[in-house]
Amino acid sequence: RFAYVNGRYIRHADAAIHIEDRGYQFADGVYEVCEVRSGRLIDEERHMARLERSLAELRIDLPMPLSALGVVLREVVRRNMVRDGLVYLQVTRGVAPRNHLFPAPGTPSSLVVTSRSASRSASDARAEKGVAVITVPENRWDRVDIKTVGLLPNVLAKQAAKEAGAYEAWFVDADGNVTEGSSTNAWIVTKDGVIVTRPAESGILRGITRSVILDLAAADGLNVEERAFSLEEAKTAREAFITAATTLVMPVVQIDGAPVANGAPGIVATQLRQRFHDFAA
Ligand code: PDD
């Protein structure tokens, strides 16, 4: 396996970052995870646009033009012979003696790119059963719109889910509303058949998969509302599901130990998953 690290393609096992990299010391960096299908990057433009925005919000420079970054992403995918899987990229504010202040101007930011294969059939098998989610109090900062590598609350939430026998943890804010999952966006389908997901302007990451699903649902004339929904509403919903580049559309069949509707994957979620497969094919 190969990785790209600051200008070089090196063996994954030998890939390393300096101990004074600001990503390591301060989580001072951002990342993207992009799905790879048949060797192609899915939604590359939207991922690049979000990356640019995250970097701009934190005033970190991209060490190369976006077009060149696209070449690097494809080269890592090619060298690793990934057909179906993921490509991961991370940009940090670079290497400098530890100091909370930004490094001296001209300090190059660090760029790492890795990729790995991920079996689609395993994901499809999981989707046929659906997954369980638990809920945890929202305890993240208010800039979760930035895709930063500072993910401790997400790490702890995901681990709590795993230890509870669940697949994902949903954050619930002080108003009792579900914001999103530790690494996924959250959705429900109401009793009236309306697809609901929280607005991207408030307390969530603007998921690329979320945006694509909104487009596909609109194209199909489905009834969609971008609004906050409460945990109570989710528990009595007809369906629930989550979306991310890693899971695509994944039906949720249990929330905090109680079944969603009859406890089987919902029709809307299953159809949207298929729609996404067709879109990415
Ligand atoms: N996570 N919300 C959070 C907090 C996320 O970390 C992610 C993605 C999403 C979904 O975004 P997208 O559809 O663009 O993948 C929502 C990535 C996959 C990760 O951390 O592995």
Domain count, the chain: 2
Q: CA-to-CA distance for 32 and 265, rounded, in angstroms? A: 28
Domain shared by 165 and 269, yes or no: yes
- ipTM given for this complex: 0.99
The tens digit of pLDDT for each residue in 129-157 reads 999 999 999 999 999 999 999 999 999 99
The tens digit of pLDDT for each residue in 195-229 reads 999 999 989 999 999 999 999 999 999 999 999 99
The whole-number pLDDT of residue 48 equals 98
Domain shared by 174 and 86, yes or no: no
The whole-number pLDDT of residue 281 equals 85
Domain of residue 32: give its range.
2-118
Q: Which one-letter amino acid corresponds to residue 10?
A: I
CATH code of residue 249 = 3.20.10.10
CATH code of residue 100 = 3.30.470.10
Domain boundary among 93, 118, 143: 118
The whole-number pLDDT of residue 132 equals 98
Active site residues: 147
How many other C-beta atoms lie within 10 A of the C-beta of residue 126?
14
Smallest Cα–Cα separation from 254: which of 172, 128, 133, 170?
Answer: 133
Domain shared by 100 and 204, yes or no: no
To test the ligand 1 pocket, which listed residue (182, 184, 215) has its Cβ within 8 A of the most ligand atoms?
184
Domain boundary among 66, 93, 118: 118
pTM above 0.95, yes or no: yes
Domain shared by 155 and 60, yes or no: no
Domain shared by 60 and 174, yes or no: no
Contact between 29 and 148 under an 8 Å Cβ cutoff? The reply is yes
Domain shared by 92 and 173, yes or no: no
Domain shared by 179 and 274, yes or no: yes
Domain shared by 48 and 172, yes or no: no
Closest ligand 1 atom, residue 147 Cα: 6
Residue 22: CB within 6 Å of ligand 1?
no
Lowest mean pLDDT among 21-30, 50-59, 117-126: 117-126
Domain shared by 261 and 244, yes or no: yes
* Residue 65 pLDDT exceeds 90: yes
Is 68 exposed, middle or buried (CB count within 10 Å of its CB: 0-12, 13-18, 19+)?
A: exposed
Domain shared by 131 and 253, yes or no: yes
* Residue 10 pLDDT exceeds 90: yes
Average pLDDT over residues 77-101: 98
Domain shared by 99 and 11, yes or no: yes
Token code pair at residue 230: 């409460």
Domain boundary among 103, 118, 133: 118
Domain shared by 112 and 139, yes or no: no
Q: CA-to-CA distance for 204 and 188, rounded, in angstroms? A: 15
The tens digit of pLDDT for each residue in 258-279 reads 999 999 999 999 999 999 999 9
Distance 207 CA to ligand 1 centre (A): 6
Distance 105 CA to ligand 1 centre (A): 31
Distance 228 CA to ligand 1 centre (A): 18
State how far the alpha carbon of 55 is from the alpha carbons of 152, 156, 193, 220, 279, in Å: 20, 25, 38, 34, 28
What is the maximum span of the chain, computed from C-alpha positions, in angstroms? Answer: 58
To test the ligand 1 pocket, which listed residue (41, 205, 242, 243) has its Cβ within 8 A of the most ligand atoms?
205
How many other C-beta atoms lie within 10 A of the C-beta of residue 17?
15
Closest ligand 1 atom, residue 210 Cα: 13
Q: CA-to-CA distance for 270 and 210, rounded, in angstroms? A: 15
Q: What share of the chain in percent tops pLDDT 70?
A: 100
Token code pair at residue 264: 């089987």
